[in-house]
Amino acid sequence: MIKGLARFDYYLNKLQLLFNKASKQKNPALWLYNNDGRTPLFMLESLAKMYTQIHNKKKFTKLKEQFKLLEDTLGAIDYYDNIAKGISANKKIPSTVTNYLQAQTREKIQSLNEILVEQEWLSADNGRIKKIQKKLAEADWLKEEDEIKAINEFYGEAILDITEFVHTDKCNFKNIEADVHELRRKLRWLSIYPQAIQGSIQLSKNKTVPKYLVKYLTKEITTSAFNKMPDAGDATYFLLLEQHYFYALSWMIAELGKIKDKGLYVIAVKEALQQTTNLADAATCKKAYQLLGTKQPTLELLLNQAAATCKLYFDEQNLEHLVIGTGSVK
């Protein structure tokens, strides 16, 4: 079977199994949220993102938008649900704030249920996914060697996009969502593609490790299951990434995630206060900090922390050393 098609089929089959089970539930969207429906959607979205740049742009762009809508809606559920649960033990937080966040969670769940019905993802005949598989079968798939060369070019363009994004403002971040969260998204795709590609991206390591990389090679990162590549299977051509720089990328994604999550608490509580009180914008921000307590870092502090971390990482040109190139087994 064509490798590109096989990759999509692998995750489409996983998704279909989840949809089949979800269709038997009273609340399919909630069931999908609680049973990791987001992971296969991430993988399918990442494959579609990649193939829009390799061939059949129009076809794969439409598929990407379909997967992204489901994934984004699950992400919105996750956002409100996790913050509502995270502040539940804080007795300073008024019930109106928690109730608002819980109501938003329910609203996003309902939105996903409506999408699932309107777009017929839960149809008994699996018609939606069969239609996608039919379109994929008609794509202009490349030979394995040519595809790996195209993926190599895609990675280079993705890295260039990230470095340009960072250097535009020289890491002078002004917004948690538009700057920190967006940069993390861009970096995260680089670590998702190897999982989605199903073995055709592998890690190779240099004999010596530059001293400046050691700080990124924590036990948490080097032992993470997500940093182990899928088995190569019968692949004969590969894109090779340098292992230590891949670990550094993983560390950066995790670090920005911690900073982003802390900032989103302020943003979510502020939103809840804006919707449930008559306080002015500046007052809601001040009130959010009071409610979250003295351990809550300010947005300014978090933005400065993210900027300093990014400046060091990008000054070291770690991304530029991530891709080794293509290789083969003959």
Query: What are the tens digits of pLDDT across the range 107-144?
Result: 999 999 999 999 999 998 888 999 999 999 999 999 99
Least Cα distance to 300 among 133, 180, 138, 132 occurs for 180
pLDDT score recorded for residue 309: 95
- For residue range 284-295, what is the model confidence (pLDDT) as tens digits? 999 999 999 999
Give the mean pLDDT of 201-225: 94
- pTM, 2 dp: 0.94
Helix/strand/coil percentages in the chain, nearest 5: 70, 5, 25
Alpha carbon distance, N-terminus to C-terminus of the chain: 19
Q: Would you state the structure tokens that stand for residue 61, as one six-digit string?
A: 């762009």
What is the distance between the alpha carbons of residues 75 and 62, in angstroms, rounded to a whole number?
20
Centroid of chain to Cα 39: 9
Least Cα distance to 70 among 129, 125, 124 occurs for 129
pLDDT band at 308 (very low <50, low <70, confident <90, very high): very high
What is the distance between the alpha carbons of residues 16 and 131, in angstroms, rounded to a whole number?
12
Burial of 246 (0-12, 13-18, 19+ CB in 10 A): buried
Token pair 């900027």: residue: 307
What is the distance between the alpha carbons of residues 145 and 124, in angstroms, rounded to a whole number?
39
Burial of 215 (0-12, 13-18, 19+ CB in 10 A): exposed
What is the distance between the alpha carbons of residues 178 and 321, in angstroms, rounded to a whole number?
26
* Average pLDDT score over the chain: 94
Q: Would you state the structure tokens that stand for residue 149, as one six-digit string?
A: 């060369």
